[in-house]
Structure 1
Amino acid sequence: MTGISVPSWPGVAASLLLVALAAAVAYRQRLHLTRELIIASLRAGVQLVAVGALLLVIFARTGLPGAFAWVAIMILIAGQVAGHRGTRLPRARWAATAGVATGSILTLGTLLALGIISTQARVVVPVGGMIVSGTMQAAGVTLRRLREDTYTARPAIEARLCLGLPAREAFLPHQRSALRTALLPAIDSTKVVGLISLPGAMTGLILAGVDPLTAIRYQIVVMYMLLAATALAALATARLAEHALFDNAHRLVPVAQPPQGAQ
């Protein structure tokens, strides 16, 4: 794997020209995103440098316990980010955090228990990061769809409740709709993997000099684990959010209209 070209720090700095190009497009088109785009780019660079330095310590000093602790921190942060998508839903951040934790822990635990991936810290952290990222997106999409349906479809839900259906059955069509919305991106990505793009894990291994036929084995595992993590996180998030939407008498709690422009 010698001879692999890695961008130098001056090269990284030069790549800011690409950020300037994106910012110019946003400014010229009056998208009102120029400042946010620049801040996000600079923040990403600082965060990655800090995380890189921290991972050096984890890999050298703390080993597997440190890797698990870092994954736990990622889960907590991801739960807060995903929970923001459920603004105005009761206990949205709790539902998102629990959903992310469920999908991440079960998926990563299965990979380790079956010996599919190594128990080395330098393997657990990046694989755990990919899993947590996938579960965060699934939980966020699920909450956003539930928030929209709870507000717009309230008359239909209450009509089913008036007909004597329990809360779970009255809300089931909307839960299924949210789960479908959360799963479709992962399914679509799995369908076209390798045909439209070379995903991150495979690309990284190829850039590191690994034989492509070896790299695809890792990528297949990554795609399958993301499907499982997404499904588990979306289901757990939806069930917990649903439970918080109804009181003990199976009445739908008031939910305010989502803020204008909320994502």
Structure 2
Amino acid sequence: MAMAEHAAAAAAVSSPAVPAWTGVALSVSLVLVAVVIAWRQHLGLAREIVIASVRAGVQLLAVGAVLLFLFEHAGLPGGFAWLGVMVVIAGQVAGRRGAGLHRARWVATAAIGGAAAVTLGVLLLFGVVQSEPRVVVPVGGMVVSGSMQAAGVTLARMVAEARQQRPVIEARLALGLSGAEAFAAHRRELLRTSLMPTLDATKVVGLISLPGAMTGLILAGVSPEVAIRYQIVVMYMLVAAAVMAALGAAELGQRMLFTPAHQLR
């Protein structure tokens, strides 16, 4: 992993595969094509495409400046602090998917943070990735992103399931079952639904498209064999993080569904 990182960094400086700023500017023409298509088709999305594209560019430039500072001055503590910020932001985003659930954003943040801490901790403990900010931050960012998606889908499905099956759940509660017992069948189903996108993507990785980490390393001039090893680690850590985040969101979210007296909120 260490060799891959250093090779990628060295190759990226001189590789013609890495676009210059003029190339970045020219890529704006692709956004203009999308805007024209949306306008001609009367989709009402032309303005949204422009806003999203500008926002993405500004955010990436800002993050690039922050990362440059972290890598050169803040060290590993700064890298972990930035990951903490990522977890908080991801918790807010995923929590909005569970609108209507009591303390949904807290649930999402805790689930994402726990999944990211365990996954990244294992990788660092066994030396799979280097304990350097330029490695920890991007790898941790991928873990947080995958956890956010899994937690968000889990909470969204939980709220929908509780609303649709409210009579059934309340009937079970009336028979003397606890909240966990009354919701158990629905919990299993929503977990399956939440994890299917991650599992489907894992099954076809490399067959339909080359994943981001592998593509980036190959474009930077790294050997495909090295890039494949890196991507295998990435895919496995994303699967683990998604499962833990979904399970954490389901467990904590389920507790928020019911009052201490086992009444459905």
Same fold (TM over 0.5): yes
Question: Amino acid of the residue matched to residue 96 of structure 2?
Answer: H
SS in 2 for 1:118: coil
Displacement of 1:121 in angstroms is: 0.9
Residue aligning to 2:106: 94
Displacement of 1:31 in angstroms is: 2.6
Please tell me whether residue 16 in structure 1 is matched to residue 28 in structure 2. Answer: yes
Displacement of 1:8 in angstroms is: 1.6
Give the distance between the partners of 2:201 and 2:218, measured in 1 at CA. Answer: 20
Residue aligning to 1:247: 259
Structure-2-length-normalised TM-score: 0.93
Match of 1:151 among 148, 163, 173: 163
Please tell me whether residue 160 in structure 1 is matched to residue 172 in structure 2. Answer: yes
Q: How does 1:72-221 map to 2 (within 5 A)?
A: 72-221=84-233
Give the distance between the partners of 1:34 and 1:223, measured in 2 at CA. Answer: 35
Deviations 1:163-192 (A, max 9, x none): 221110111122112211111111111101
Please tell me whether residue 39 in structure 1 is matched to residue 77 in structure 2. Answer: no
Give the distance between the partners of 1:21 and 1:132, measured in 2 at CA. Answer: 32
Give the distance between the partners of 2:238 and 2:191, measured in 1 at CA. Answer: 15
Deviation beyond 6 Å, 4+ runs, structure 1: none
Deviations 1:20-57 (A, max 9, x none): 22222222333322222211110000010111111111
Where do 5+ consecutive residues of structure 2 fail to align? 1-10
Please tell me whether residue 4 in structure 1 is matched to residue 33 in structure 2. Answer: no
SS in 1 for 2:213: helix
Give the distance between the partners of 1:162 and 1:172, measured in 2 at CA. Answer: 15
Displacement of 1:3 in angstroms is: 4.2
Residue aligning to 2:68: 56
Residue aligning to 1:229: 241
Give the distance between the partners of 1:23 and 1:65, measured in 2 at CA. Answer: 42
Where do 5+ consecutive residues of structure 1 fail to align? 254-263
SS in 1 for 2:142: helix
Deviations 1:66-100 (A, max 9, x none): 11011110000000010010111111101110111
Give the distance between the partners of 1:155 and 1:31, measured in 2 at CA. Answer: 40
Give the distance between the partners of 1:28 and 1:61, measured in 2 at CA. Answer: 49
Residue aligning to 2:6: none
Identity %: 60
Question: Amino acid of the residue matched to residue 99 of structure 1?
Answer: A
Residue aligning to 2:7: none
